[in-house]
Amino acid sequence: MSEFTLYLLQQLINGLTIGSTYALIAIGYTMVYGIIGMINFAHGEIYMIGSYVTFIVIAGLLGMGLVSLPVILIVALIVAVVIASTYGWTVERVAYRPLRGSNRLIPLISAIGMSIFLQNYVVLSQGSRDVALPPQISGGWTFGDPSVFEVSFSYMQLMIWAATLITMTGLTLFISRSRMGRACRACSEDLGMTNLLGIDTNKIIAMTFIIGAALAAIAGLLLGLYYGVVNPFIGFMAGLKAFTAAVLGGIGSIPGAMLGGLILGVTEAMTAAFFPSEYKDVVAFSLLVLILLFRPSGLLGKPEVEKV
Amino acid sequence: MSNKLYNAVFASGIAFVLACLMIGVKLSTEGTQLTVEGASAEQWRWIGLGIALVFLAQLFADQIDALFGKLPKPQLGALLPEEKKMASLKPWLIALVIVGMLVWPFMVSRGAVDLATLTLIYIMLGLGLNIVVGLAGLLDLGYVAFYAVGAYTYALLSQYFGLSFWVCLPISAGMAALFGFILGFPVLRLRGDYLAIVTLGFGEIIRILLNNWTALTGGPNGISGIAKPTLFGLEFSRRAKEEGAVPFHEWMGIDYSSSHKVIFLYLIAVVLTIFVVYVINRLIRMPVGRAWEALREDEIACRSLGLNRTVIKLSAFTLGASTAGFAGSFFAARQGFISPESFIFIESAIILAIVVLGGMGSQVGVILAAIVMTILPELAREFSEYRMLLFGLLMVVMMRWRPQGLVPMKRPHLELKQ
């Protein structure tokens, strides 16, 4: 295979890896928007907190002398999910629930305020500098001709693919097969009617935030291990990109968020391949603008009809 | 009672989970090793205090609510005299305020005048965003981009072509208006939250471009040595920079004092702000202003009444952006140095907070909020590291308790006295 094809293949692998993590975070945005019609601006910060908790647990367990990596990762996963879900639940309870029913601008500003609050909360408690973790999972497969171009597919990337696949399959099964999932779907179709039918919508909305936060925590763990570095400001960009992915796929639709995340990841990787990598963010936002111009309901979304 | 107790225990439990790892444990790097250390005893005391507070607040939730209910709600409107007397008093009040603003800088310290100039910049920005968010109801989170465009336009024109501040002022406003126009097109069909995100993305695009297009904008190093404004060619420096020019103090025959420059900048800011306030005030009362408010209230009704929403939206964006361009070019002139670091998203959020906290659409409210937002951090210097934290908290709390803002907008109206 030519060097160009191998290079493209590498970028494709990288793009799908990052894209699947965007998909995880995007699902949180899309679920919340689907049910209560608001953008949870603080969601990016939940992802950041998930990352931080992962680092704390891993560093703590390594410091205590634990060597077995699978155990460390599983404990980190559980703790990160629990704590991030708690944060997600608290944010909903404190900043969004009292404002339900008021005009769109007010919860949005509250969300922005919450996002700024969480970001600076972490700055004050953990410091604003980068925190680095030595790579825990290294090595991988390489193929291709070393003299031309070597495509590498690391174990970490495999882990991200596997984890996101399992998580998304689990979520899809939950939404489509379980009672709670059915209640979630009902809420996203018509909140008022669901309430009338006797389902406690407050609980369902809280559950949605918790699920979204849990997924963001998983993404935080994966990306934290992949990049090896966290700081309090990663939530902002990640949140923005994930929201772009959610809109790309059609906001309100979970498969859409997954698809959008993957497309965004690959587009970004391809851009970084051929242009200076600082401009990949510009591409992400331009993609958002283009999608909203030509297909505002996203790829898999239904066109929203506003009735008067 | 047991219900209360259960709530209180549950809430404290949640508070503990939130705090135990994020505050209770601190990551630190020793060499290449990442270690965790427990937080100091003092921090654990704070955590304990916080949890205890949550516990008590939940336990006595009813009593606390009753207490707050008994507090008198501030009625700022009742303080003002009635409408008819106001109408005759108003011109005198405004004249008094303007004279006060012009005379005041000669009597106070340089630092205070500098702070006042900064406040005036934020007042201009707040008024500009007020058009877009407050009057037209278009949530613009990328407003800082137009601010940046105005600043960089003046900086680049002054650096490459040597144009003076006064010539560049309308050009900056025009450039910013052009960008506002360009932004307006893709967002025409968007509503609410989508609009917010796209404008946010636009703001980020501008910042990234400014940061990376080093050939044109100097990249992260920014542009320095921007010329300060002159008064009919009189410079406010110790020695004239240009050949043959006379510095102000020589022309006036007085000693050089650095406060001259500061006061001059302040006076320019006052003039610009008064101009902006006046123009926007007139615009609100014109059909354009009414159309903006109609758009904010109900876009579909607006269209069904025959108003062209494209023109309304574009006019709102353009005028708001040109105000930011004004403020931006003045900011560049005042600072003498600009870099993309001054134009991050947080600035947009602060200006948005000013508009929302002041009362959307209300000019007096926005001016008041801008003054509060700029002066409070100066007064509370000891809390400077908590500044942004409190800012975020303030936004959440204000939305909960007074979403209509400090001084809600009142349309000019007369009440019939029975």
Chain B hits for A98, CB-CB cut-off 8 Å, are 400
Instruction: Give B244's pLDDT tier (boundaries 50, 70, 90).
Output: low
- The answer to whether the Cβ–Cβ distance between B201 and A285 falls below 8 Å is yes
Smallest Cβ–Cβ distance between A289 and the set B196, B201, B349 belongs to B201
Compute how many other C-beta atoms are within 10 angstroms of the C-beta atom of residue B61.
14
Asked whether residue B367 carries a pLDDT value surpassing 80, the answer given is: yes
Residue pair A215/A28 in contact by the 8 Å Cβ criterion = yes
pLDDT of residue B81: 57
pLDDT of residue B279: 94
A91-98: average pLDDT: 90
Cα–Cα distance measured from residue B290 to residue B412, given in angstroms and rounded to the nearest whole number: 12
Q: Which of B28, B395, B404, B409 to mutate to test the interface with A (most CBs of A within 10 A)?
A: B395
Cα–Cα distance measured from residue A29 to residue A35, given in angstroms and rounded to the nearest whole number: 10
pLDDT of residue B241: 65
The size of the A-B interface in CB pairs under 8 A is 177
Q: Does A47 touch chain B (CB under 8 A)?
A: no
The DSSP call for residue B135 is I
Cα–Cα distance measured from residue B116 to residue B228, given in angstroms and rounded to the nearest whole number: 18
- In DSSP terms, which residues pair with B33 in a beta bridge? B30
Smallest Cβ–Cβ distance between B194 and the set A113, A132, A292 belongs to A292
pLDDT of residue B263: 84
- The answer to whether the Cβ–Cβ distance between A116 and B391 falls below 8 Å is yes
- The answer to whether the Cβ–Cβ distance between B193 and A282 falls below 8 Å is no
B77-106: average pLDDT: 74
Asked whether residue A232 carries a pLDDT value surpassing 80, the answer given is: yes
Cα–Cα distance measured from residue B151 to residue B144, given in angstroms and rounded to the nearest whole number: 10
Q: Does A4 touch chain B (CB under 8 A)?
A: no
Residue pair A28/A40 in contact by the 8 Å Cβ criterion = yes
Which residue does chain A place closest to B395, by CA atoms? A113
Asked whether residue A124 carries a pLDDT value surpassing 60, the answer given is: yes
Asked whether residue B77 carries a pLDDT value surpassing 60, the answer given is: no
Higher pLDDT, B363 or B23: B363
Beta strands in B162-249 (DSSP E): 223-224
Distance of CA B285 to the CA centre of its chain: 23
- The CA-based angle B188-B136-B122, given to 5 degrees, is 110
Q: Which of A190, A167, A170, A179 is nearest to A252 (CA)?
A: A190
Beta strands in B359-398 (DSSP E): none
Supply φ then ψ for residue A133, to 5 degrees.
-120, 135
Cα–Cα distance measured from residue A281 to residue B233, given in angstroms and rounded to the nearest whole number: 44
Cα–Cα distance measured from residue B126 to residue B326, given in angstroms and rounded to the nearest whole number: 12
Q: Does B305 touch chain A (CB under 8 A)?
A: no
Q: Which of B364, B352, B360, B361 is nearest to B395 (CA)?
A: B352
Instruction: Give A62's pLDDT tier (boundaries 50, 70, 90).
Output: confident
| Continuous segment of H or E residues that includes residue B386 | none
Tokens of B176: 């910013």
The structure tokens 């051929």 sit at A274
- The answer to whether the Cβ–Cβ distance between A109 and B346 falls below 8 Å is no
Tokens of A115: 């996002």
Strands B33-38 and B25-30: antiparallel
pLDDT of residue A48: 94
Please state which of the ranges A141-155, A214-228, B102-116, B167-181 shows the lowest mean pLDDT: A141-155
The structure tokens 């002041």 sit at B358
Q: Which of B318, B322, B315 is nearest to B288 (CA)?
A: B315
B74-94: average pLDDT: 68
Instruction: Give A24's pLDDT tier (boundaries 50, 70, 90).
Output: very high
CA B86 → CA B9, B79, B414, distances in Å?
A: 54, 12, 11
- The answer to whether the Cβ–Cβ distance between B139 and A134 falls below 8 Å is no
- In DSSP terms, which residues pair with B35 in a beta bridge? B28
- Crossing angle, helix A69-91 and helix A43-63, to 10 degrees? 150
Cα–Cα distance measured from residue B333 to residue B154, given in angstroms and rounded to the nearest whole number: 8
Instruction: Give A1's pLDDT tier (boundaries 50, 70, 90).
Output: low
pLDDT of residue B172: 93
Q: Does B231 touch chain A (CB under 8 A)?
A: no
Residue pair A12/A61 in contact by the 8 Å Cβ criterion = no
pLDDT of residue B189: 80
Q: Which of A30, A22, A4, A21 is nearest to A211 (CA)?
A: A30
Cα–Cα distance measured from residue B19 to residue A212, given in angstroms and rounded to the nearest whole number: 20
Instruction: Give B219's pLDDT tier (boundaries 50, 70, 90).
Output: confident
Distance of CA B214 to the CA centre of its chain: 28
Q: Is the dihedral of CA A282, A287, A289, A290 positive or negative?
A: positive
- In DSSP terms, which residues pair with A151 in a beta bridge? A143
Asked whether residue B296 carries a pLDDT value surpassing 60, the answer given is: yes
| B window 5-34, beta carbon within 8 A of A | 14, 17-18, 21-23, 25-27, 29, 32-34
- The answer to whether the Cβ–Cβ distance between A282 and B205 falls below 8 Å is yes
pLDDT of residue B221: 84
Distance of CA A270 to the CA centre of its chain: 20
Cα–Cα distance measured from residue A88 to residue B17, given in angstroms and rounded to the nearest whole number: 12
Strands A131-132 and A229-230: antiparallel
Distance from CA of B281 to the nearest CA of A (A): 24
Cα–Cα distance measured from residue B414 to residue B418, given in angstroms and rounded to the nearest whole number: 13
Determine the 3-state secondary structure of B29 from DSSP: strand
Instruction: Give A216's pLDDT tier (boundaries 50, 70, 90).
Output: very high
- In DSSP terms, which residues pair with B231 in a beta bridge? B234
ipTM here: 0.85
Residue pair B135/B292 in contact by the 8 Å Cβ criterion = yes
pLDDT of residue B280: 92
Distance from CA of B107 to the nearest CA of A (A): 38
- In DSSP terms, which residues pair with B337 in a beta bridge? B224
Residue pair B203/B141 in contact by the 8 Å Cβ criterion = yes
Asked whether residue B317 carries a pLDDT value surpassing 90, the answer given is: yes
| A window 233-252, beta carbon within 8 A of B | 236, 240, 243-244, 247
Instruction: Give B322's pLDDT tier (boundaries 50, 70, 90).
Output: very high
Identity at A98, one-letter amino acid code: P
Residue pair B321/B146 in contact by the 8 Å Cβ criterion = yes
- Crossing angle, helix B192-212 and helix B345-358, to 10 degrees? 140
Q: Which of A245, A284, A114, A236 is nearest to B345 (CA)?
A: A236
Cα–Cα distance measured from residue B399 to residue A221, given in angstroms and rounded to the nearest whole number: 33
B339-365: average pLDDT: 88
Higher pLDDT, B48 or A262: A262
Cα–Cα distance measured from residue A182 to residue A201, given in angstroms and rounded to the nearest whole number: 12
A67-74: average pLDDT: 86
Cα–Cα distance measured from residue B341 to residue A151, given in angstroms and rounded to the nearest whole number: 37
Cα–Cα distance measured from residue B86 to residue A233, given in angstroms and rounded to the nearest whole number: 49
Higher pLDDT, A22 or A126: A22
The structure tokens 């309430």 sit at A195
Q: Which of B391, B139, B353, B409 is nearest to A104 (CA)?
A: B139
Smallest Cβ–Cβ distance between A60 and the set B36, B211, B212 belongs to B36
The structure tokens 């204000």 sit at B398
Cα–Cα distance measured from residue B227 to residue B167, given in angstroms and rounded to the nearest whole number: 12
A175-208: pLDDT as tens digits: 989 998 999 889 888 888 999 999 998 999 999 9
Cα–Cα distance measured from residue B382 to residue B384, given in angstroms and rounded to the nearest whole number: 6
Q: Does B200 touch chain A (CB under 8 A)?
A: yes
Q: Which of A110, A40, A303, A104 is nearest to B296 (CA)?
A: A104
Beta strands in A120-165 (DSSP E): 131-132, 140-143, 151-154
Distance of CA B63 to the CA centre of its chain: 37
- The answer to whether the Cβ–Cβ distance between B21 and A121 falls below 8 Å is no
Cα–Cα distance measured from residue B367 to residue B120, given in angstroms and rounded to the nearest whole number: 9
A244-263: average pLDDT: 89
B22-72: pLDDT as tens digits: 887 787 776 666 777 776 777 788 788 888 888 888 777 777 777 777 776
Cα–Cα distance measured from residue B186 to residue B195, given in angstroms and rounded to the nearest whole number: 9
Higher pLDDT, B295 or A103: B295
Beta strands in A71-132 (DSSP E): 131-132
Cα–Cα distance measured from residue A144 to residue A138, given in angstroms and rounded to the nearest whole number: 19
- The answer to whether the Cβ–Cβ distance between A102 and B403 falls below 8 Å is yes
Residue pair A156/A138 in contact by the 8 Å Cβ criterion = yes
Cα–Cα distance measured from residue A29 to residue A33, given in angstroms and rounded to the nearest whole number: 6
